[in-house]
Structure 1
Amino acid sequence: MKVFAMLIGTVCGAGYLKPAPGTWGSLAALPLAWLLHRSGGFPMLLMMTGALFILGVWATTELTKGKEDHDPSEVVIDEVVGQFIALMPLSWSAWTKGLDILVLWPGWISAFVLFRLFDIWKPGLVGWADRRNDPVGVMLDDVWAGIFAAGGVIVLAGLAHGVFGL
């Protein structure tokens, strides 16, 4: 079980990449989100985000048992879940409008940058979740960072398409 928890928690070893394993985890999420969207659209991305949240809590629990560090840097499944959430407005738009999700590439960049910003900065609810110092908090701070980033993606898309007419 420990090997399975390690594979999930580190996203098949992406969490061992240095420097900035969280950024590597977020980068690993991008092709995974694309594959999920291509295989089942927005519903598939949404369903797998929920499943990975649950698996992430389990894997983090397993990997931190008996250790003082509640959020080891190699555990990056939380970044994958948060990055998936940040990408959801793009998946929804592409799915409902019948678009190739890759034509929304500026949104991918915005989702990535905003998610990393909120995950590092930890404003408000992101910081609150991080301070829980437990496996749920490890996952939840990235959920909140993803929600904030998704909101930012929506605002930026509104500005680009509504205000600037791009």
Structure 2
Amino acid sequence: MNRAAHLVATVLGSGNLKPASGTWGTLAALPLGWVVMQAGPLVFTLATIAALPLGLWATRVVVADSGDHDPSKVVIDELLGVWIALLPIAWGAASAGVTAERLWPGWIAAFLLFRLFDIWKPGPVGWMDRRGDAWGVMLDDAVAGVFAAVGVIALAGLAHL
């Protein structure tokens, strides 16, 4: 067992929490995202991009160890997805010259919209999920994160009419 891969795949063990390990993983990703955002939106964006290859590696290792193509304890994909959903908040806060936590309604929207799209799996989210490999594990949540990010932007626009 590769302990580092398991720590990454489970987002420091949050994927081991039951029930709803995906929700726990998404919740764990929020404070981690906030910490990374303190270095600025560019660093947060680069960290979000880096989560994809890191997640692919960790997912492949855990899948090989477990024999399950998408074990519920693997939640690095949730981290990737919710961080994508948080990108408008990171850049919006920097643009407005405020701290990211000042945009707290956006954090809630990012969390809820991401979980909605991740569970519902509309269109391309479901297509990615059906791949049945590590890419599918990661990409369905990435696409759900993009959908959620668009929703965050739309809700921010409505809130500032």
TM-score interval, smaller chain: over 0.9
CA RMSD, Structure 1 to Structure 2 (Å):
1.1
Contiguous gaps of at least 5 residues in structure 1 = none
Paired residues for 1:74-85 under 5 Å: 74-85=73-84
Q: Which residue of 2 aligns with 1:107?
A: 106
Q: Which residue of 2 aligns with 1:123?
A: 122
Distance 1:15 1:67 in 2: 14
Displacement of 1:68 in angstroms is 4.4
Q: Which residue of 1 aligns with 2:58?
A: 59
Q: Which residue of 1 aligns with 2:23?
A: 23
SS of residue matched to 2:145: helix
Deviations 1:102-140 (A, max 9, x none): 111111110000000000000011000000000011000
Contact 2:11 2:29 in 1 (8 A): no
Change (3 A) 1:66 1:101: closer
Displacement of 1:97 in angstroms is 2.0
**Which amino acid in structure 1 is aligned with residue 78 of structure 2?**
E
Aligned residues: 161
Percent of residue pairs identical: 58
Q: Which residue of 2 aligns with 1:9?
A: 9
SS of residue matched to 1:99: coil
SS of residue matched to 2:60: helix
Distance 2:155 2:51 in 1: 27
